[in-house]
Structure formats: structure tokens, C-alpha cells
Structure 1
Amino acid sequence: MKDAFGLPQSLLVLGGTSEIALATARRLVARRTRTVWLAGRPSPALEEAAAGLRALGAEVRTTAFDALDPESHEAVLGKVFAEGDLDMVLLAFGVLGDQARDEREPLKAVRVAQTNYTGAVSAALFSAAALQSQGHGSLVVLSSVAGERARRANFIYGSSKAGLDTFTQGLGDALHGTGVHVMVVRPGFVRTRMTAGLDEAPLATTPEAVATAIELGLRRRSETVWVPGALRVVMSALRHAPRALFRRLPL
């Protein structure tokens, strides 16, 4: 069960090598989280992530999970939830893709969409059903400000995140009053391996800053978290900018 501050004592991370997810797990373990499941493709990186959290005092287990194999999600998640109630599921997997390449090779674009949206829909629905069955818990989904309005530079990635964001908001409405808390997290440009080599956008942030915002959102039972918070205003302005003007912006 969550502690008196609304922080989880048990955590399942879908996307167990995500830098944002691991920063969040470290922060929560430093508070009250004692049991962590890291789900992802088996790899030395996944085992290294688990070892790092164990060194902080958490009981950590890993399990194989593939966003691109939704037919396996029910069995994988069922196995984890069968071990005991979970206070929080953090859906943190996703790929950025390569916009120029993916436009030339549509199957690559489809893979981005399948990972970021189709796989996430499957995992989120199975997780939500399990949380609802136990009667409590939080589902935290990493979205992106890129989903607020499609930009020429990354509309394939942005459209997949737009779909995920809208889906998660609807799921939160569907679960309202059930005891399950659903929270959408919308970071801007985050300095991670995934964004290495890219031109840094204004208001860039770090995995640790996102983790701090997630913790605060859990305490407040927020439904939407922007990181940094100033992006709420910036993206509102961009979302409502006339299309002719938006096309001329250096975005």
C-alpha cells in the first residue's frame, strides 16, 4: 500500500532501462519504495539497472517484456501482479525514431507508432485492469509535449505521443472513482541517451527533474504533470497559434 504521503511501496517499471524511469525509481526508493520490478528486453543494461537499485536497498526483480509483442502482455503482467499488489505502474518505454529516415521508410515509422502507441495501449489496459482489481494504485504514463501539436521536425513521434496522451486521459476518466489514479507526464526535451546529438530545445530538463515532478504529482494525485511547469503556458500558446504562423516558426 502507499504510505501516508501517497508514495508507493511497490513499483513496476515497463521500460526498465529508461533513464527517466530509473531516476524516478531511485528517488522513490530513497523514500519508501521497497519492491521494484523492472520489465524490459533481457539485456546487460537491464541487469545493471536492477543491481543499481539493489545497492540502494530495494528488492528488485526483472522480467522480460517487449512493447512490440502485445500478445504476451497479459501473461507478463499477470505474472507480476500474481506476486502481490503493486502500488504503482510506470509506463516508460518509447522510441524517438529518425524523422527523415522514417519518412523514407514507412515501416520504420510504423515501428515507432507500434512501440509508442499500440504497445502502450495494450500494456496500460492490462495494468489498469489489474490495479482496478486490487482496488488501488497509480498508473503513471510518460507522454511528451511533442504530442501537443505535430511539428514538421518530428510529427511521426509527436503523433504517436498525441495518441498515447489522449488515450491516457480517457483511461483516467474511465477509472475515476475506482481507486486507481492515472497520471500523464509531459516532459519537454530531456537530456538522455535518446536525445544525445540532437539540438537542445529551450527549457530542456533532466531525468532527475522529471523524477522530482513525478514524485510531487503522486503526492498531489495530479492528473497531468508538465516538466518543466512553464511548458504548460508555452504549449498552450503554440497549440492555439494560427497554422500559417505555426508553419513559419523554427520548431
Structure 2
Amino acid sequence: MKDSLGAPQSLLVLGGSSDIAMSTARKMAAARTKKIYLAGRPSQRLEDNAAELRTLGATVEVVPFDAAATDDHDKVLSQVFATDDIDVVLLAFGVLGDQAEDEKDPARAVAVAHVNYTGAVSSGIIVGQALKKQGHGSLVVLSSVAAERARRANFIYGSSKAGLDAFAQGLGDSMVGTGVHVMVVRPGFVDTKMTQGKEKTPLSTTPDAVADLIITGLRRGSHTVWAPGAFRYVMSGLRHVPRPLFRRLPM
């Protein structure tokens, strides 16, 4: 449960190797979040992240979790909720894919969609019901500005995030009155290991900056967070650009 000042005491990260998730966990651990579950595919990076959070005073448990292995989600996540009361769940896993290569190979395209959308639906439903049973808690879902309108340059990734975004919004609406808060986070280009080597776009940001917005959004009870905030207005305009013109934009 949250402490007397409203600070979350426990955090479950789905995608514990994510740079944005790690920045968020680091900031929460440095405040008053004392129990953190890092769920992800076993790796040295996941173990290193756990070790770093422990140096900040948090009790950290590493949970083997594969977003693509949806048949295992119920068992893995149910064990976490059976062990602890969870204040915040951060759904941070996802793959960018390689648009040029994925267009040539349906299996590669499906793999992107399976992790980003199907994996999120599976784990999101399980987490939502677990939080509802608790009667409290927040689910933070990392979406993307790419969800707002699919672009030629990354329509496979963008469409998977569009599905995730719509799912998370609907899940949030279904939880009204249950004590459960769902917050959708829509970052633009974030300088992470996933985007390493790619050309930065206007309004690019950092994991730390996104983490600050996530924490502020949780404190305010926001349902949508744009990172940075200017994207709210940029994407509002792009949604209404006629398709023939949109196709010619250098995006």
C-alpha cells in the first residue's frame, strides 16, 4: 500500500531491461518505493539493473518473464500478486523491429505485433484483474506517439502500438470506480538502446525525462501522458493532415 504521503511502496516492472523502466524504477527507489519486482527475460542486464536498485535501498526480486510467452503470463504474474500488494505496475516491454526487413518476412512482422500488442493484452488483462481484486493500484502502459497515426517508415511498429494504446485506454475506462488507475504514456523518440544508431527526430527526449513525466502523471492521476508534452499538439495537427499530403511528409 502507499505510505501516508501517497508514495507507492511497491513496483512491478514488466520489461525490466527497458531504459525508460529502469529510469523510472531508479527514481522511485530513490524516493520511498521499497519493493521492486523486475520481470523480464533472464539476462545479465536484468541482473545488473536489479543490483543497481538494491544499492538505492530497495528490496528487488527478479522475475523470469517473456512477453511473447503468453501461455505463461497468468502463472508468473499471479505468483507476484499472491506474494505482495502492488501499488504500481509499469508495462514497459516492446520491440521496434526493422521495418525494411519485416515487410519482406511476415513472420518477423508478426513477431513485432505479438510482443507489442498480444503480449500486452495478455499481461494487461491479468494485471488489471489483479489490481481490481486488490481494490487499488496503477497500471502504467508505455505506448508511443507512433500509435497516433501510422507512418510509412514504421507502420508495423506503429500499428502494434496503436492497438496497444486503444487496448490500454479501454482497459482504463473499464476500471473506473474500481480503485484502479490506468495511465497511457506516449513518448516520441527516446534516446535508448532500442533506438541506438537511429537518427534523432524533433522533440527527442531521454529516459530520465520520460520517467519524470511518468512520476508526475502518477501523482496527478493522469490518464494520458505525452513525452514531451508538446507532442499533444503536434499529433493533434498530424491526425488531420489529408492522406495525400501526409504521404509526402518527410517522416
Q: TM-score, normalised by structure 2?
A: 0.99
Q: Which residue of 1 aligns with 2:165?
A: 165
Match of 2:31, SS? Answer: coil
Q: CA deviation at 1:57?
A: 0.5
Written as runs of structure 1 = structure 2, the 5 A alignment for 1:39-118 is 39-118=39-118
Q: What is the rounded CA distance, in whole Å, between the counterparts of 1:4 and 1:239 in structure 2?
A: 42
Q: What is the rounded CA distance, in whole Å, between the counterparts of 1:126 and 1:19 in structure 2?
A: 24
Q: CA deviation at 1:132?
A: 0.4
Report % sequence identity. 67
Give unmatched runs, 5+ long, in structure 1. none
Tell me which amino acid in the other structure corresponds to 2:67: A
Q: What is the rounded CA distance, in whole Å, between the counterparts of 1:106 and 1:239 in structure 2?
A: 28
Question: 1:131 and 2:108 equivalent?
Answer: no
Tell me which amino acid in the other structure corresponds to 1:48: D
Question: 1:37 and 2:23 equivalent?
Answer: no
Tell me which amino acid in the other structure corresponds to 2:75: A
Total equivalences in the alignment: 251
Distance 1:7 1:239, change over 3 A: farther
Q: What is the rounded CA distance, in whole Å, between the counterparts of 2:7 and 2:84 in structure 1?
A: 17
Q: Which residue of 2 aligns with 1:246?
A: 246
Give unmatched runs, 5+ long, in structure 2. none
Q: Which residue of 2 aligns with 1:13?
A: 13
**Contact in 2 for aligned 1:7/1:218 (Cα 8 Å):** no
Q: What is the rounded CA distance, in whole Å, between the counterparts of 1:88 and 1:150 in structure 2?
A: 30
Superposed CA RMSD: 0.8
Match of 1:186, SS? Answer: strand
Q: CA deviation at 1:39?
A: 0.3
Distance 1:103 1:134, change over 3 A: same
Q: What is the rounded CA distance, in whole Å, between the counterparts of 1:34 and 1:120 in structure 2?
A: 26
Q: What is the rounded CA distance, in whole Å, between the counterparts of 2:241 and 2:2 in structure 1?
A: 42
Q: Which residue of 1 aligns with 2:178?
A: 178
**Contact in 2 for aligned 1:5/1:219 (Cα 8 Å):** no
Q: Which residue of 1 aligns with 2:201?
A: 201
Match of 1:140, SS? Answer: strand
Tell me which amino acid in the other structure corresponds to 1:20: I
Q: CA deviation at 1:6?
A: 3.9
**Contact in 2 for aligned 1:15/1:40 (Cα 8 Å):** yes
Q: TM-score, normalised by structure 1?
A: 0.99
